Structure 1
Amino acid sequence: MSGRLFGSVRSRATLAATLVVAVALVAAGTAVLLSLRSNLVGQAGTEAEHTARAVATDIALTRPGQPLSADNDEPVQVLDEKGKLLAASEDLERISGTGTQAVRPQPQTSPGRDGSGEDSDDDADDESALESLEPGEISEHTSFTNGTATLDGETDDYRFAEVHVEVEGRGQLTVYAGAPLSAEQSAVRTALTVMLIGFPLLLAVVAGVTWLVTRRALRPVEGIRSEMAAITASEDLARRVPVPDTHDEVARLALTTNETLAALQTSVERQRSFVADASHELRSPIASLRTQLEVAAAHPELLDLDGAVEDTVRLQDLAADLLLLARLDAGERPADTRFDLGALAREQAAGRAGVTVDAQTLEVAGSRAQVGRVLTNLLDNARRHARSEVTVTVRREGDRAVVAVADDGDGVAEADRERIFERFVRLDESRSRDDGGAGLGLAIARDVAVRHGGTLTVSRGPAGGALFELRLPQAH
């Protein structure tokens, strides 16, 4: 069941669209959360820096000997050069992420000296790491860290700003001030909750819309499929699939399907007509030959041997024509052999009364036997209709080799000049089977010409009769 479900185009399209939207939503949601957190952390850092610089300004204005004050609603620490806590927020109970975890101020010693009043090596190292500031000057550089603090029994995460200030008589002090990150955490949690609830709903909407849209888009395809199944079952090639009025790929598919059905119907009808005509043409010589044999069996003295041979030859020629047409219809490719078209024309005309040949030496490529059959058919046709003379010329015309067969007969009416190349077609004046063949010679000739990349046309000749011109590409 699952195989059939995901085997449909609609299911695969819905799944693909849902997956693409899901990936896009996850990427967009992650980017939004990171951007939101970065902006809110930046705002907290700005607030912390503002508080730290305000405290540093107050300390810078404090006279020597006066106690330092760092009372603030947010966690604040003031450290000396050695990292000792000099002042802190009154309600500060615990802190981390700053220079010290102490929350109660310690007495300050003279800056830069030990108890003996002399400089120590440690103090010299500390001073070398500090910025060079003038008394009352606040450093322009601000450092940020994250940590926690407990104020009045409430513990929160904070963004701490670190600012240095030079105080007369106390040396360089460091001020830490924090701004709560609760707003950032609350906003991120809210956004994450909205995404966790909204994204699945949005994906469900996308899946539903895609399912409905693809169902509507593929409805004409299902109509085409069901109609094709009905045509296959009924074998009625006259039926056509419905063409939707959408002017899209599905409509073009329906049009192409109908064109294919029309071509198939034409081919089948042509095949049926061919079989019927072939059966009709075969029936006459077979019936005639059978009658002669039956008469000969009863009365040997009445045997028409010449007529029997003629019917047998005619039957043999007809079978050969039908076999060649079958091979041509099957798409048999001509051989790629080079031969002299002029020599072939002279060979086919040899021994024929009233035929004159003027042939140049021109090489073409293909089946010598099939092209020879074309020339034979053209000469036979010209002989049947000529009064006295048939002329054959072979000449070059651009990159084409042209064979022209002309007679001095009545010619072919312009209205019939394409019809005579149809199979089993004989014009009214040549319908007698004694005068002509089965109406396959010219059809075979044109099919062979086309499969050799050439053409075969008929027009009015110089002597008023028919002029057949076979044009084939020259071999290079």
Structure 2
Amino acid sequence: MAEAVRPVPRERVRAALRAVPGAVLRRWPVLRRLWPTTVRARATVGASVVVAAALALASFALLGLLEANLLRNAENDARRQAETVAQLAATGKLGRVRPPARGIDFVQVVGADGRVLFASPNLAGAPAFPAPGPGAPGTRLHTWRVRPLDGEYRQRVVQVVTQTPDGMATVYAGASLRDADAADDTTTAALVIGMPLLLATVALVTWRVTGHALRPVEEIRAEVAEISARGLHRRVPVPATDDEVARLAETMNATLDRLEASGIRQQQFIADASHELRSPITVLRTQLEVALAVQDPELWPELISGALEDIERLQHLTADLLLLARIDAAQPVAAAPLDLTALVREVVEGRLGDRVPVGLRLEPGVEVSAGAMWLGRIVTNLVDNAQRYADGRVDVTLRTTNGARPGTAVLEVTDDGPGIPAADRERVFERFTRLDDSRSRDHGGAGLGLAIARDLSTRHGGTLTAEGRPGGGSGGARLVLRLPTTGRC
């Protein structure tokens, strides 16, 4: 049994076609110098080659159709003339043959014995055409080309075999192909002159149009080439045309906006981190210098205890900075279905040494898609923030919305502390941000906890906001985390 032919995948065909130019250039390195290297040149060469191929095919088709049409007309004229003479020859009336019609070059009637029974005046004394051989009575048509008898043009000859009173005879009628040859010559000359001019016009127009279309791209390239790390405020020009180049320029400017914002944020982050690290390092150095200067061993435990507190603060600050760096690096989150209810309960109940009690009101079976470690860090930071400023109580509430599945898990962490003013509810999520008075450094925070929690929330497709008390109540902070559920809770 023959093996079935497997169809070639379309991707393999496309890959093979894309590899053809490279293979040709490797085969003939001399072509590499002739291969166009710019988009403008490649577009011009491509358009010219396509138009040249189309013109060549169209020219061959035009010449073929013209030749076929003129040959058919000449053959029809010769056939009518031959059939008319054949009818007269069949009745023995060759003497009544009229002069050839217009467009007919000659007429000749040859008997079976090779004698010329009739000939048009321009064939007087000319030898007979070769007989076609014996044949049955009737009409047979045969067409072939012969060289002119006395001119420079071809003839289309039609032969008709007929039965006459004197035996079989063959009638030859030749139609001039003068018009066909003249039309072919004229058309060929027009194509030879017109095609190069048309190709040159196409190449010129393509070159100019492509250059005009690519001019904004070159301006964008030149502007981007001049933009350095200190010049991120510059923007590329946006063309007035609503096309792909304009959208490219808009996208480039949007990218530059993000780069500038990222650079500003990075510079601010470095400045804030340097400031935050300088203070505990300075205090730690002072304590160590005092410990060295003081010779009383009874004071050393107190000095060492203070130094350890500053070292612990440095450790927490360094860990937060490293976590922010990982978040900014956009490392992927290993998300998996997670029971948020169990996670919140585990994080809160596992806390030791909290200053105020934490009340839990958790809806059972709330499931989200997240990374357990990162989501636990969010809950820890929110509870730490509430513990830092609460007067006597912290409440953690977990519920889901009543919308279409998948719904939204809503985690609220509230405290009864001084609260967050409405004007500062967005600013508290900025890095190294501390509010005055009640939310000061005395509470032990570096201003990174809420920033980390919001960044992690965004990475999980959620939101973290500071909101007012329901019903317009005052007092205490209310932080609300919203995450999409998996739809199975």
Match of 1:377 among 374, 381, 384: 381
The CA distance in 2 between the partners of 1:251 and 1:71, in whole Å, is 76
Match of 2:155 among 155, 158, 177: 158
Rate the CA distance shift 1:258–1:155 in 2: closer, same or farther, 3 A: closer
2:472 matches 1:472: no
Match of 2:267 among 265, 272, 288: 272
The CA distance in 1 between the partners of 2:52 and 2:149, in whole Å, is 41
2:456 matches 1:448: yes
Rate the CA distance shift 1:155–1:5 in 2: closer, same or farther, 3 A: closer
- In the TM superposition, what is the alpha-carbon distance from 1:396 to its structure 2 partner? 3.7
Q: Deviations over 1:65-113 (max 9, x none)?
A: x8676865732111346665322234326579x6539xxxxxxxxxxxx
- In the TM superposition, what is the alpha-carbon distance from 1:292 to its structure 2 partner? 1.2
Runs of 4+ off more than 6 Å: none
Unaligned runs of 5+ in 2: 1-30
Identity %: 47
Provide the residue aligned with 1:209 in structure 2.
205
The CA distance in 2 between the partners of 1:414 and 1:293, in whole Å, is 43
Match of 1:31 among 58, 61, 67: 61
- In the TM superposition, what is the alpha-carbon distance from 1:305 to its structure 2 partner? 3.6
Q: Deviations over 1:270-307 (max 9, x none)?
A: 01111111111111111111111111111254553443
> Is the CA contact 2:109–2:170 (under 8 Å) kept in the aligned structure 1?
yes
Given residue 383 of structure 1, which amino acid in structure 2 is its aligned partner? Q
Provide the residue aligned with 1:85 in structure 2.
116
The CA distance in 2 between the partners of 1:199 and 1:410, in whole Å, is 87
Provide the residue aligned with 1:388 in structure 2.
392
- In the TM superposition, what is the alpha-carbon distance from 1:441 to its structure 2 partner? 0.4
> Is the CA contact 1:95–1:149 (under 8 Å) kept in the aligned structure 2?
no
Secondary structure at 2:172 match in 1 = strand
1:7-18 aligned at under 5 Å gives the runs: 7-18=37-48
Q: Deviations over 1:332-376 (max 9, x none)?
A: 223345554333323333342322223335444433222222222
Normalization by structure 1: what TM-score? 0.83
The CA distance in 1 between the partners of 2:158 and 2:371, in whole Å, is 95
2:188 matches 1:192: yes
Which moved further from structure 2: 433-442 or 423-432? Answer: 423-432
What is the number of equivalent residue pairs in this alignment?
437
Q: Deviations over 1:25-64 (max 9, x none)?
A: 101110111111112112222332343345346546755x
Provide the residue aligned with 2:468 in structure 1.
460
The CA distance in 1 between the partners of 2:289 and 2:127, in whole Å, is 128
| Aligned-CA RMSD value | 3.0
Provide the residue aligned with 2:28 in structure 1.
none
Rate the CA distance shift 1:83–1:368 in 2: closer, same or farther, 3 A: same
1:142-291 aligned at under 5 Å gives the runs: 143-151=142-150, 154=151, 156-163=153-160, 169-170=165-166, 173-232=169-228, 235-291=230-286
The CA distance in 2 between the partners of 1:5 and 1:51, in whole Å, is 60
Rate the CA distance shift 1:130–1:165 in 2: closer, same or farther, 3 A: closer
1:399-438 aligned at under 5 Å gives the runs: 399-430=407-438, 432-438=440-446
The CA distance in 2 between the partners of 1:206 and 1:17, in whole Å, is 7
Given residue 159 of structure 1, which amino acid in structure 2 is its aligned partner? R
Q: Deviations over 1:400-453 (max 9, x none)?
A: 433221112232223322221111111223453112411110010111122223
The CA distance in 2 between the partners of 1:307 and 1:431, in whole Å, is 22
Provide the residue aligned with 1:134 in structure 2.
none
- In the TM superposition, what is the alpha-carbon distance from 1:316 to its structure 2 partner? 1.1
Provide the residue aligned with 1:357 in structure 2.
360
The CA distance in 1 between the partners of 2:145 and 2:250, in whole Å, is 69
Rate the CA distance shift 1:444–1:276 in 2: closer, same or farther, 3 A: same
- In the TM superposition, what is the alpha-carbon distance from 1:186 to its structure 2 partner? 2.4
The CA distance in 2 between the partners of 1:283 and 1:401, in whole Å, is 40
- In the TM superposition, what is the alpha-carbon distance from 1:472 to its structure 2 partner? 3.0
The CA distance in 1 between the partners of 2:439 and 2:415, in whole Å, is 19
Given residue 460 of structure 1, which amino acid in structure 2 is its aligned partner? G
Rate the CA distance shift 1:460–1:230 in 2: closer, same or farther, 3 A: same
Q: Deviations over 1:453-476 (max 9, x none)?
A: 322222223674222222334455
When Rg is computed on C-alpha atoms for both structures, the one with the higher figure is 1
The CA distance in 2 between the partners of 1:406 and 1:262, in whole Å, is 36
The CA distance in 1 between the partners of 2:34 and 2:185, in whole Å, is 42
